[in-house]
Chains A and B, each alone.
Chain A
């Protein structure tokens, strides 16, 4: 279970999060929606400890993880349970695709023989719709959508308990977006992983969300089961679903 209580974050004068409280139960799939630039990526990074919140508490399975120090065994154990797909993919451009996917399997405590790691990498690439031909290419040789899928394969390579997806379908064609939606749905239901996904794509929301949270103005405006999203009555959610220019979410920000 992931629990955020009153999380605040500002970058200098730019206040981004102003009291986010959110609970995600184990094995559930939550989708965070909200206008671009509202701090959705920052929110995920706060949970991972990549961004230090100014105030508030974050706990995972009841353990407070807000102030885990880099390099401590507790922090290592915490990170070992996570997988993360970054918004910009964040592939290591000095390594070929398969070594990106198998990164954790090639070093450290999860180290496996090279051939085995490569086989796992190719299997994961196939799951995200990439053939083994791309395994030996470098990230710079791939299109944006392919890079995104490699990032996805890397995030799920070690079958982590908790997976964060930052805009997994942005930049993909609708067919491939459907494949990725099914994959994320499958990860939550088959592997029993807890998933938190950021997306702007309403078809994605409907495909993968058990629960939806709407982030606006630095706070969670509404959160609830995906089935209640259409009838929740929250003006932000309604505007987002309708894709309308009229409503509390400003078109100039």
Chain B
């Protein structure tokens, strides 16, 4: 077959997929201001996505912050720049690693569970049952999850940024011999409002994408246990890739000036 045809077909398929996801997202978000509202489902999603993700967020970021401090110290030593550890840890965590790592952990933890849950509902006709009970699945299942993930992710990433910096601080002070007060002062003086704003904006975007992918692939699940497995896998892969791509785009928007 012609190479151009293959490429063309792939591009068309991708554009069609982007179109479907966009329509899916617009449909869900369009229910925002329209009753009936499902506050219970929203509250449940907040707790599931936000509160129960705290341990994994804390563990991920504290180790990363610590490792980052060690690396920067070792790398910096080559051109006697060991002193920049606090600043680079702060910037690295807040601008990039905090949002990206928390985003990927949420893709692993939240996207997978949303996709598996909704796909199972689809396969066992629970989605059909919802419709016959006059309940719109986009309003009842998708919107609460997407909205909850979008509002709770900045909070998770904020916590992750702080814990990551703390990980760097612990390593810096305990292992590398930094003065505790100086370390903290350097961190705080160096961080700018834009760093924090970019971090939290990324967080909201990643939360939106993670939950959206879970719902989208769940709703489109094929039949049987195999369908659920495929839906979950596709959702996690799509969420992870989209988060990394969105991270690049947002970094470009915020910092390329």
| In the complex, chain B residues 126-180 whose Cβ is within 8 Å of any chain A Cβ | 126, 128-136, 138
Is B124 at the interface (CB under 8 A from chain A)? yes
Apart from A82-B132, A88-B125, 15 more pairs, CB < 8 Å: A50-B128, A70-B131, A79-B131, A79-B133, A86-B128, A86-B129, A90-B124, A90-B126, A90-B128, A92-B126, A104-B133, A107-B36, A108-B36, A108-B134, A111-B36
Q: Tell me whether B36 and A109 are in contact (CB under 8 A).
A: yes
Is B38 at the interface (CB under 8 A from chain A)? yes
Is A136 at the interface (CB under 8 A from chain B)? no
Q: Which of B38, B117, B131, B132 contacts A107 (CB 8 A)?
A: B38
- Report the separation of the CA atoms of residues A87 and B129 in the bound assembly, to the nearest whole angstrom: 11
Q: Which of A48, A70, A82, A93 contacts B136 (CB 8 A)?
A: A70
| In the complex, chain A residues 81-139 whose Cβ is within 8 Å of any chain B Cβ | 82-84, 86-88, 90-94, 103-104, 107-109, 111
**Closest partner residue, chain A, to B121 (CB atom):** A92
Q: Tell me whether B126 and A50 are in contact (CB under 8 A).
A: no
Between-chain CB contacts (< 8 Å), 10 pairs = A48-B128, A48-B132, A79-B131, A83-B132, A84-B129, A91-B126, A92-B126, A107-B38, A107-B135, A111-B36
Is A183 at the interface (CB under 8 A from chain B)? no
Is A12 at the interface (CB under 8 A from chain B)? no
- Report the separation of the CA atoms of residues A92 and B38 in the bound assembly, to the nearest whole angstrom: 16
Per-residue CB contact flags for chain A residues 68-86 toward chain B (1 = under 8 Å, else 0) read 0011000010011011101
Chain A residues with Cβ under 8 A from B138's Cβ? 71
- Report the separation of the CA atoms of residues A104 and B134 in the bound assembly, to the nearest whole angstrom: 8
Q: Tell me whether A84 and B132 are in contact (CB under 8 A).
A: yes
Is A45 at the interface (CB under 8 A from chain B)? yes
Chain B residues with Cβ under 8 A from A92's Cβ? 121, 126, 129-130
- Report the separation of the CA atoms of residues A103 and B130 in the bound assembly, to the nearest whole angstrom: 9
- Report the separation of the CA atoms of residues A79 and B36 in the bound assembly, to the nearest whole angstrom: 16
- Report the separation of the CA atoms of residues A111 and B39 in the bound assembly, to the nearest whole angstrom: 14
Per-residue CB contact flags for chain B residues 22-38 toward chain A (1 = under 8 Å, else 0) read 00000000000000101
Chain A residues with Cβ under 8 A from B129's Cβ? 84, 86, 90-92
Given contacts A92-B129, A107-B36, A109-B36, contact A79 B124 (CB under 8 A): no
- Report the separation of the CA atoms of residues A7 and B125 in the bound assembly, to the nearest whole angstrom: 22
| In the complex, chain A residues 144-168 whose Cβ is within 8 Å of any chain B Cβ | 154
Query: How many residues on A have C-beta within 8 angstroms of the other chain's C-beta atoms?
Result: 27
**Closest partner residue, chain B, to A107 (CB atom):** B36
Query: How many residues on B have C-beta within 8 angstroms of the other chain's C-beta atoms?
Result: 17
Chain A residues with Cβ under 8 A from B133's Cβ? 79, 103-104, 154
Q: Which of B36, B124, B136 contacts A71 (CB 8 A)?
A: B136
| In the complex, chain A residues 8-51 whose Cβ is within 8 Å of any chain B Cβ | 45, 48-50
**Closest partner residue, chain B, to A108 (CB atom):** B36
Q: Tell me whether B136 and A80 are in contact (CB under 8 A).
A: no
Q: Tell me whether A45 and B136 are in contact (CB under 8 A).
A: no
Q: Which of B38, B117, B125, B132 contacts A79 (CB 8 A)?
A: B132
**Closest partner residue, chain A, to B132 (CB atom):** A84
- Report the separation of the CA atoms of residues A104 and B140 in the bound assembly, to the nearest whole angstrom: 13
**Closest partner residue, chain A, to B139 (CB atom):** A71
Chain A residues with Cβ under 8 A from B38's Cβ? 107
- Report the separation of the CA atoms of residues A154 and B134 in the bound assembly, to the nearest whole angstrom: 13
Chain A residues with Cβ under 8 A from B131's Cβ? 48-50, 70, 79
Chain B residues with Cβ under 8 A from A94's Cβ? 117
| Chain A proximity of B126: nearest CB distance (Å) | 5
**Closest partner residue, chain B, to A84 (CB atom):** B132
**Closest partner residue, chain B, to A48 (CB atom):** B132
Chain A residues with Cβ under 8 A from B132's Cβ? 48, 50, 79, 82-84
Question: 4 tightest CB-CB pairs across the interface, nearest first?
Answer: A90-B125, A90-B129, A84-B132, A79-B134
- Report the separation of the CA atoms of residues A209 and B135 in the bound assembly, to the nearest whole angstrom: 31
| In the complex, chain B residues 6-52 whose Cβ is within 8 Å of any chain A Cβ | 36, 38
**Closest partner residue, chain A, to B120 (CB atom):** A93
| Chain B proximity of A158: nearest CB distance (Å) | 9
| Chain A proximity of B36: nearest CB distance (Å) | 5
| Chain A proximity of B136: nearest CB distance (Å) | 6
Q: Tell me whether B128 and A45 are in contact (CB under 8 A).
A: yes
**Closest partner residue, chain A, to B31 (CB atom):** A71
Q: Tell me whether B126 and A108 are in contact (CB under 8 A).
A: no
**Closest partner residue, chain A, to B30 (CB atom):** A71
Q: Tell me whether A76 and B134 are in contact (CB under 8 A).
A: yes
- Report the separation of the CA atoms of residues A154 and B125 in the bound assembly, to the nearest whole angstrom: 14
Chain B residues with Cβ under 8 A from A87's Cβ? 125
Q: Which of A48, A76, A88 contacts B124 (CB 8 A)?
A: A88
- Report the separation of the CA atoms of residues A90 and B126 in the bound assembly, to the nearest whole angstrom: 5
- Report the separation of the CA atoms of residues A71 and B28 in the bound assembly, to the nearest whole angstrom: 12
**Closest partner residue, chain A, to B123 (CB atom):** A88
